[in-house]
Amino acid sequence: MRIVETELIKKAVKEAVKTANTRLPVDVLTSLEKARDNETVPHARQVLDILLQNAHQAQTENMPLCQDTGLVTVHVQLGQEVALTGGSLYEAINQGIGEGYTEGYFRASMVKDPFERVNTGDNTPAVVHLEMIAGDKVIITVFPKGAGSENMGRTIMLKPADGWEGARRFVVDTVRIANANPCPPIIVGVGVGGNLEKACLLAKKALLRPIDQPHPDRRIAAREAQLLQDINKLGIGPQGMGGDTTALAVTMEVYPTHIASLPVAVSLNCHSARRAVVTV
């Protein structure tokens, strides 16, 4: 058994949210550079240039990439040989976010009650997903995501007869309907299988994968590539003003499902695809 103080979790979350909000992951940066170099529409290339310049400024000036510093999802993979002491895991995570957002001068975007809508002041609480893993480590992934892209996510319970073609149509339609709102070029996370909530979680989990890594299963990787091609044919382009680059990547995760079900969820992420992983 390894004893881990929740104070360590708090510190890890605090540093992770600071990093995530100011430094674009290398795979996303590289993908944006590649898109800029390949984009054939001049004003679309100009938008991509501004986004790269913004990422550079954010890093050198230690400023948040986007003013929407998001709702923070925290994925905790907890080694089953770890015993947490010193207080609640959830409290530690929220304290880390509160301190990180205050010290980082990041925007507080959370309201306490969805109808009363009073700001909580420090961007807490997070949405926390807990997963038990083998070993004695705690792997924490913070995922701040803005509402512009989050609001355009969709889910559907398809019929098994709809099959891959039905799923494909739903994903492409989701991107078409979202149009300029999720801040293209986007990253498209797709979750297929399980049940209603599992499909949504898979779509979100898909967005945590670095975008230069296709799915290890070749059949799924081929479907990702096909969806990316379909989506970029839409011509929505950077910021929705036309161009070759509507999406930088499609990432998909699947799970076994019921004989009568074919759940499909799509979560769109903006080009400011922020995430940071820390191991405690």
Partner 1 sequence: MAHVLRAPLNGNALQQLHAGDEVLVQGTVYAARDAAHQKMIAALEAGQPLPFDIEGQIIYYVGPCPAPPGRIIGSAGPTTSSRMDVYTPALLQRGLKAMIGKGDRSQEVKEAMKKHGAVYLAAVGGAGVYLAHRITAVETIAYPELGPEALLKMEFQDFPCIVAIDMRGQSVYQASDE
Residue 37, helix vs strand vs coil: helix
Smallest distance, Å, CB 21 to partner 1? 9
Binding mask 116-135 for partner 1 (x = CB under 8 A): -x-x-x--------------
Which residues, 193 to 232, sit near partner 1 by CB under 8 A? none
Task: Find residue 194's DSSP bridge partners.
Answer: 257
Which residues, 239 to 278, sit near partner 1 by CB under 8 A? 239-242, 270-272
CA angle 110, 111, 113 (to 5 degrees): 140
Half-sphere exposure (CA, 13 Å, Cβ side) for 57?
9
**Strand order across the beta sheet in which 71-79 lies:** 127-133, 71-79, 138-145, 276-279
Rg (CA), the chain: 19
Smallest distance, Å, CB 114 to partner 1? 13
Smallest distance, Å, CB 146 to partner 1? 8
Binding mask 155-184 for partner 1 (x = CB under 8 A): ---------------------xxxxxx-x-
Smallest distance, Å, CB 57 to partner 1? 4
Binding mask 78-107 for partner 1 (x = CB under 8 A): ---------------------------xxx
**CA 134 → CA 78, 79, 81, 139, 216, distances in Å?**
8, 5, 7, 11, 21
**Exposed, middle or buried: residue 258 (CB in 10 Å: 0-12, 13-18, 19+)?**
exposed
**Applying CB under 8 A, which residues contact partner 1?**
43, 47, 50-51, 53-54, 57-58, 61-69, 105-109, 117, 119, 121, 147-148, 151, 176-181, 183, 235-236, 239-242, 270-272
